[in-house]
Amino acid sequence: QVQLVESGGGLVQPGGSLRLSCAPSGSIFGINAMAWYRQAPGKQRELVASITRGGSTFYADSVKGRFTISRDNAKNTMYPQMNSLKPEDTAVYYCNAEVSLSVVTPWSDYWGQGTQVTVSS
């Protein structure tokens, strides 16, 4: 069964950077919009950033100017780059994408398992 796989999380000091990635674990037909969400302890999951297949992006106000998101359509991979990290960015980060497994399969919403990002000195 195809899943979205995130990587690149970890522990970083305030002001540091991390580059995450998200890609499907197996063969697919295609991916439309991709997005990153995060969920901090005791808080609801929130949208951080998103990118269309054509490259149009959206950023939450809390990360504008610090985070950027890009994708490689040939590799079906998304790359969030997180700079100037703050302790309040600590959360589990989840990849989300609209995926079709084959030319006859409907587009469906897929989620990754999440990767922990901890910003602390």
Tokens of 101: 């497994």
C-alpha span between 64 and 10 (Å, rounded): 21
Query: What pLDDT is recorded for position 1?
Result: 83
Tens digit of each residue's pLDDT (9 = 90 or more) over 65-88: 999 999 999 999 999 999 999 999
Q: What is the DSSP letter of 62?
A: T
Neighbours of 52 (CB within 10 A): 13
Provide block-wise average pLDDT over 10 residues at a time, the chain (121 residues): 92 97 92 96 96 96 97 94 97 96 91 96 95
Query: What pLDDT is recorded for position 87?
Result: 97
C-alpha span between 3 and 43 (Å, rounded): 25
C-alpha span between 6 and 69 (Å, rounded): 14
